[in-house]
Amino acid sequence: MKPLELYLHIPFCIQKCNYCDFLSAPSCAGERKVYVESLCQKIRSYKDLAKAYHVVSIFVGGGTPSLLLSKQIEQIFEAVRETFVIDSDAEISLEANPGTVTEEKLQAYRNCGINRLSIGLQSAKDRELKRLGRIHTYEEFLWTYELARKAGFLNINVDLMSGIPLQTLVDWEETLHEVARLKPEHISAYSLIVEEGTPFYERYGNGKHLEELPDEETERKMYYRTREILESYGYHRYEISNYARLGYECRHNLGYWNRTEYLGIGTGAASLIREERWNEGEIPEKLDRKAQMEETMFLGLRTMKGVSKAEFAKTYQRTMESVYGKVLEEMQKKGLLLVGEDQVCLTDAGIDVSNYVMSEFLL
């Protein structure tokens, strides 16, 4: 049996945030009920495929999964456990937003085997939360966080966002200190990206109102200060935007970056099975050898560990140098890649221009 990661998508939220381009939308109780029933049916439809795999991680994302009723989360996990073999030590995560969590829900999560919560905070400043269109305050986040600890959750991630409109470097530093002092096991620190189809794009797209956004130099300082501050609290950066205490790196995300097979179930969820990639409802696309090697490089380089030459050669029966020798040499000369005896990884300068470096590995 091969390792498999499961992703379950819950496309519902109370309201869309101003920056969000994820597949999610407000809904009524009836719509959520119908969706959960359909999701459970879809999960059970994979009974034959499941025979070849053992599940190493499960991630329930959205949207806002914590918007569902406790009994609906229980329904979903009943279907999962009927269909798949789940490792006894599997990492099982659920995304939760302040304002949607109760003591009763948290106990239900624990009963379902959920052992990791990912709480969407984004900022410790209420004025920034309001600009983002979040439904909660920082105090409500603290209440949710403490409730989760009292419920017995020993593995909690907190999502944070830099580059928010009118955010200063000091604002960001204060948010980092506030959250790090709470000692969550994991912190995801992302920079705002203004995506098409969002309220933020209407305001800031095509170069409009750029004076409200932190400039490039400030954003760079925010990124550097993120590492400095979080390392001072005992976190290490193991991926471009993710920090963890030792042993609490998100196994599910590491699986994505290492190209572990994963099955996405639910509206728009993505899958990678037997080198076929698809989104729910789409026709699978077979990845050829070239595409597989490209993904190995630009996904693996997101991690601080980087990509192993030995593993590359074992997987593709070709040395990394025979495929990417010129690129490796050029990126190393520019100080953007560290090419060791086995590992190839980004330098600090390479991280600053990671999109450029990774694009160089497209064949």
* Domains of the chain in sequence order: 2-256 (3.20.20.70), 306-363 (1.10.10)
CA distance linking residue 204 with residue 212, whole number of Å: 9
The predicted pLDDT at position 22 comes to 85
The residues of the chain scoring below 70 in pLDDT are none
Cα(340)–Cα(352) distance, integer angstroms: 20
> What pLDDT shows up at residue 141?
98
Helices vs. strands in the chain: H and E counts, helices first = 15, 15
Q: Is 272 helix (H, G, I), strand (E, B) or coil?
A: strand
What local confidence, expressed as pLDDT, does residue 21 receive?
87
Q: Do the beta carbons of residue 76 and residue 60 sit within 8 Å?
A: yes
**Residue count (the chain):** 363
The pLDDT, as a whole number, for residue 156 is 98
- The 3-state DSSP composition of the chain as helix, strand, coil percent (nearest 5) reads 45, 25, 35
- Give the C-alpha separation, 143 to 100, whole Å: 11
pTM check: above 0.85: yes
Q: What is the per-residue pLDDT for 281? A: 86
Largest CA distance in the chain: 59
